[in-house]
Amino acid sequence: MPEAVTSLLERLIRFDSVNPSLDPDGGGEGAIGAYIADFCRERKIDCRLQDVDGERRNVLASVAGNGEQTLLFVAHLDTVPARGWTRNPFEPYAIDRKLFGRGACDTKASLAAMLAALDSIKRERPRATIVVAGSIDEEYQKKGARALGQIEPRFAAAVVGEPTDLEMVVAHKGSVRWQIEATGRAAHTSMPEIGVNAIEAMAEVVTRLKKLNAELRKRPHPLTGPPSLTVSLIEGGTDICTVPARCVISIDRRLVPGEVPSDAVAEVSAALREITAKDPSITVKSVAPPAEDFPVSIPKECRLVEVAQKACTRLAGTGEPRGVPYGTDASVLSAAGIPCVIIGPGSIAQAHAIDEHVDLAQLDTAFEIYRQIMLTY
């Protein structure tokens, strides 16, 4: 089966499935989803498409089990844009048992290994019904995972494919992102005293948020590390001769398990009130509804953790429960009440990178790990 998994991964890489929300010229998930549906039909695997966002659809392949529970395996179809590559990012090539191409590790390797494992068990009648899903839009708003989380009856648990070097991840950070606006009063820069400089006001905000981030770093989670707050974008002013009347920043607040987005937003709002209380001429406020991804944490007593840990330990020499700082589809699925572990081939250092690649030895082992979980859950 290893050669078949590699061949499937090569075929998946050849699809430009760049998320169209990140690049209007991106190919999107339609063609790769249609190919997976054809792949399943040729192998007599049940398959259906789930409408999510216009023409963008999840693809779900399944093998029926003997029991009542359904176990989900999910890896996303979309990729980030590919710019600055030394070769064609959608034409896979191998060097020293590493396969290169956009999406090679994030997360087409996981998807190829999951589909091949599903194909290998279709005559073995597992205890749980096994569903392998290719989700849309993970790289932007996770719309595909949200749709999977709404399926009834609800999945008993989920294995999320992401590049973890085959480590078993049971916790990861969430995030909440929003904007803060400072409002001043425009004036000619020859008479700045009659205006109110919104950029200078925002400088006060940025300084206070830097202090808040330092405070957050003193609250580490044992698996994921500490929460954080980053001012990631700034925009202000209209021209060089006008006192700026408006300035806007975007902030990215990373949440650790146990935190919720509303508390993080409230913490920033309290900091803003401190600033305006000291200087009433400054007007600052949060604007736009925050984009939220909840942190993930799964109890060690969960049946899926037990099964995944045994498979990882036996086949990869891994299995120690770990946490990571980045987010995955597990954020949305976990919030929907579906316990998740995250396991996949490849290194997160390769995700989104130029000349992204995956170790083919890890791809082969991922196939065995997924197959073992499918048969023993």
pLDDT value at residue 1 = 65
2-172+295-376 fold: Aminopeptidase (3.40.630)
The whole-angstrom separation of Cα 71 and Cα 69 is 7
User: Would you kindly state where each structural domain of the chain is located, as residue ranges?
Assistant: 2-172+295-376, 174-293
**Is residue 9 pLDDT above 70, yes or no?**
yes
What is the reported pLDDT for 301? 87
Which is it for the CA torsion 255, 260, 262, 264, positive or negative? negative
Q: Specify the pLDDT at position 77.
A: 98
What is the mean pLDDT of the segment spanning 339-365? Answer: 97
Global pTM reads: 0.91
According to the model, what pLDDT value does residue 2 have? 65
- State yes or no: pLDDT of 280 exceeds 90: no
The CATH label, of 2.40.160.20, 3.10.129.10, 3.30.70.360, 3.40.50.2300, for the domain at 174-293 is: 3.30.70.360
Q: Is the pLDDT of residue 313 over 90?
A: yes
The pLDDT, as a whole number, for residue 12 is: 98
Q: How confident is the model at residue 282 (pLDDT cuts 50, 70, 90)?
A: confident
Burial bucket for residue 42 (CB in 10 Å: 0-12, 13-18, 19+): exposed
Q: Residues 12-27: what's their mean pLDDT?
A: 97
CA dist., res. 98 & res. 304, Å (int) = 30
pLDDT of residue 98: 97
Listed in sequence order, the residues at least 6 apart from 99 whose beta carbon sits closer than 8 Å to its beta carbon are 6, 9, 10, 13, 92, 93, 109, 357, 358, 360, 363
Question: Residue 287: beta bridge partners?
Answer: 179
Contact criterion met (CB below 8 Å) for 133 and 73: yes
Q: How confident is the model at residue 289 (pLDDT cuts 50, 70, 90)?
A: confident
Q: pLDDT tens-digit profile of 251-265?
A: 999 999 999 999 999
Res. 42: pLDDT tops 80: yes
Q: Identify the residue whose tokens are 């942190």.
A: 295
Q: Mean pLDDT of all residues in the chain?
A: 96
CA-wise closest residue to 164 among 13, 377, 370, 12: 370
Q: What is the mean pLDDT of residues 70-89?
A: 97
Whether the per-residue pLDDT at 288 is higher than 80: the answer is no
- pLDDT at 125 (0 to 100): 85
